Structure 1
Amino acid sequence: MKDLLSKKNILWDFDGVILDSMNIRTEGFKQVLINYPDDQVESLLVYHRRNGGLSRYVKFRYFFEHIRQETAEKAKLQKLAENYSKIMRSFLTSPERLVPEVIDFIRKYFQQHRMYIVSGSDGNELRFLCKELGIEQYFVSVEGSPTPKIQLVRNILEKNLYKKEETCLVGDSVNDLEAAEKNGIKFFGYNNEDLKEKADYYLNSFR
């Protein structure tokens, strides 16, 4: 934990780290794609679980271009993303879904460290959820898709002239790891034991 606390700037992934939401995210894909063949939807869910840090826009595009082998029409992708967001806004505003040990850590240290959310989830939806969950005040900003996570991290570093050695990313997916590596900052894995051998550090607990 001292390694994490040594960083002045802490960037947080959202789903699976701050909020226990992955099962709801999965169910959301099932609902918005209910009119498509079950086997195709299941293939998307496999891709979704393996790439938790990617945005829904990327996942829906993957569904059409790689699974269905057809053109991913922009209007169709936007409509699916909007329907998905409506479901998320309905089911993810319960404070009981916040991960207690992570929220306790954030509340304890947010005044001593600059904290940000960088997520593959939709940015507007994230800001709505953080407000409804009563946690927006802990973060300098809440950033999400459609901007890719690698770019979100780069934007924060460049805009604020943060030193890379003073900045880190906490996440639970290989996409989070990639975003940290591409930007030259340390990565702290959490809530995904597959990251133990890959991450710079792995956090078994925040307590």
Structure 2
Amino acid sequence: MTRKPRAVVFDCDGVLLASNRLKTAIFEQVLQGAGFAAADVARFRVFQRANFGMSRYRLFDALLGWQDLSPYPATSRDALCAAYGSALYARYVRCPATPGMVGVLRQLQDAGVPLFVVSGSDGAELAAVFAERGLARWFAAIHGSPATKVDNLALVAAQLGIRAPMPEVVFVGDAEADWKAAAATGCRFIYADHFSTAKRRMRALAAETGFPTIRDLRGLVPLL
């Protein structure tokens, strides 16, 4: 760590928890249970993986806005979100952490770096999961949806007593939504590649824009 950052902000899925595949499977389970056609479930799978980091609220809104769904099930965004949360929670609590995660959090906390979570996951659900897993103690705050990542990064700035742009704040993510939120608020972005569901797109963006890439969190500290 050459220069201590003002704070490090982490996305959750694919960065702190190896939960990307789990969430994709739960999305499919929920849509199948709600009566969506197999072809529409498959189409949503592609959309969801390409837009990982987008909240379930926005993902389901997008799905229900597709005009060519056949059949169009008698459901709603709120019903789909409730079914998703119910199916996810117990497995979310047990899913593996990414390699070296706790050691990296400990190293940063010991160095006096404030740590935050900004995720597309439901905020209340994520706080409960982190509390049950014993992870909440590492973070100054845990922010999730339905607020956007840009809005939640603004909350982090307020908690730090600074304003955007904030290049002294590092945001570690694995999806285009993370990079866009970092760009919108002037954070420094670092891409965690190993568990990303959009590797081709993110690697192309890294080559185009120059943001650094790590395989997983074990490569983070030397870049700070």
Asked if TM exceeds 0.5, the reply is yes
Question: Which residue type is aligned with residue 85 of structure 2?
Answer: S
In the alignment, the residues of structure 1 paired with residue 215 and residue 138 of structure 2 have an alpha-carbon distance, to the nearest angstrom, of 23
In the alignment, the residues of structure 1 paired with residue 215 and residue 84 of structure 2 have an alpha-carbon distance, to the nearest angstrom, of 31
Residues 135 and 117 of structure 1, relative CA distance in 2, 3 Å threshold: same
Question: Which residue type is aligned with residue 134 of structure 2?
Answer: G
In the alignment, the residues of structure 2 paired with residue 199 and residue 127 of structure 1 have an alpha-carbon distance, to the nearest angstrom, of 33
Residue 118 of structure 1, CA deviation: 0.2
1:187 aligns with 2:189: yes
TM-score, normalised by the number of residues in structure 1: 0.89
| Aligned structure 1 segments of 4 or more residues deviating by more than 4 angstroms | 67-70
The residue aligned with 1:100 is 99
Among 177, 183, 204, the residue aligned to 2:215:
204
The residue aligned with 2:89 is 89
Question: Which residue type is aligned with residue 50 of structure 2?
Answer: R
1:1-207 map, 5 Å: 2=1, 6-34=4-32, 35-66=35-66, 68=68, 76-94=76-94, 97-111=96-110, 112-162=112-162, 164-191=166-193, 192=196, 193=199, 194-195=202-203, 196-197=206-207, 198=209, 200-205=211-216, 206-207=218-219
Question: SS in structure 1 opposite 2:21?
Answer: helix
Question: SS in structure 1 opposite 2:66?
Answer: helix
Q: CA RMSD in A?
A: 2.2
Residue 68 of structure 1, CA deviation: 4.2
Question: Which residue type is aligned with residue 55 of structure 1?
Answer: S
Residues 67 and 137 of structure 1, relative CA distance in 2, 3 Å threshold: farther
In the alignment, the residues of structure 1 paired with residue 82 and residue 210 of structure 2 have an alpha-carbon distance, to the nearest angstrom, of 34
In the alignment, the residues of structure 2 paired with residue 54 and residue 201 of structure 1 have an alpha-carbon distance, to the nearest angstrom, of 22
Whether contact under 8 Å (2:114, 2:140) holds in the other structure is: yes
In structure 2, runs of 5+ residues without a counterpart are: 220-224
Residue 69 of structure 1, CA deviation: 6.0
In the alignment, the residues of structure 2 paired with residue 10 and residue 167 of structure 1 have an alpha-carbon distance, to the nearest angstrom, of 6
Q: Which range is displaced more, 158-167 or 133-142?
A: 158-167
Whether contact under 8 Å (1:177, 1:199) holds in the other structure is: no
User: Sequence identity of aligned pairs in percent?
Assistant: 24
In the alignment, the residues of structure 2 paired with residue 170 and residue 189 of structure 1 have an alpha-carbon distance, to the nearest angstrom, of 6
Question: Which residue type is aligned with residue 65 of structure 2?
Answer: E
Question: SS in structure 2 opposite 1:66?
Answer: coil
CA deviation profile, 1:139-165 (whole Å, cap 9, x unmatched): 001110000111111222134323613
Whether contact under 8 Å (2:64, 2:77) holds in the other structure is: no
In structure 1, runs of 5+ residues without a counterpart are: none
Residues 45 and 91 of structure 1, relative CA distance in 2, 3 Å threshold: same
Question: SS in structure 1 opposite 2:118?
Answer: strand
Whether contact under 8 Å (1:119, 1:149) holds in the other structure is: yes
CA deviation profile, 1:72-105 (whole Å, cap 9, x unmatched): 9xx82111101101111111111x6111312210
Question: SS in structure 2 opposite 1:97?
Answer: coil
Question: SS in structure 2 opposite 1:18?
Answer: coil
